[in-house]
Amino acid sequence: MAKKLRVWIDRDQCIADQVCAALCPQVFEMADDGLSSIVAQYRKDPNNLAEGIVPIELKDCVAQAVDSCPVQIIHMEEIEE
């Protein structure tokens, strides 16, 4: 069991200012619908743009996005997987 990070975005409330994608492009990108999404590499379900499982090494990067999102809709929790 290794520690990982579950990351999810309340996409319906995203204001598309691209802050998360600028701060942490390893995890966040702007999708075709203009809203933030988890990069394909880390999506648990390829069709669910809103949620991913990310290596724990990227925690600082994700935390920056969590703290900087102006509408506070990015969430993360540590999990064992």
Residues that bind ligand SF4 (CB under 6 A): 9, 14-20, 36, 69-71, 73-74
Residue 16 vs 79, nearer CB to ligand SF4: 16
Residue 19 vs 49, nearer CB to ligand SF4: 19
Torsion angles phi and psi, residue 27, rounded to 5: -120, -35
Return all residues near 12 (Cβ < 8 A) that are at least 6 apart.
none
Q: HSE-up of 11 (CA within 13 Å, CB side)? A: 17
Nearest-approach distance from CB 22 to ligand SF4, in angstroms: 9
Residue 3 vs 25, nearer CB to ligand SF4: 25
Nearest-approach distance from CB 17 to ligand SF4, in angstroms: 4
Distance CA 64, CA 81 (A): 23
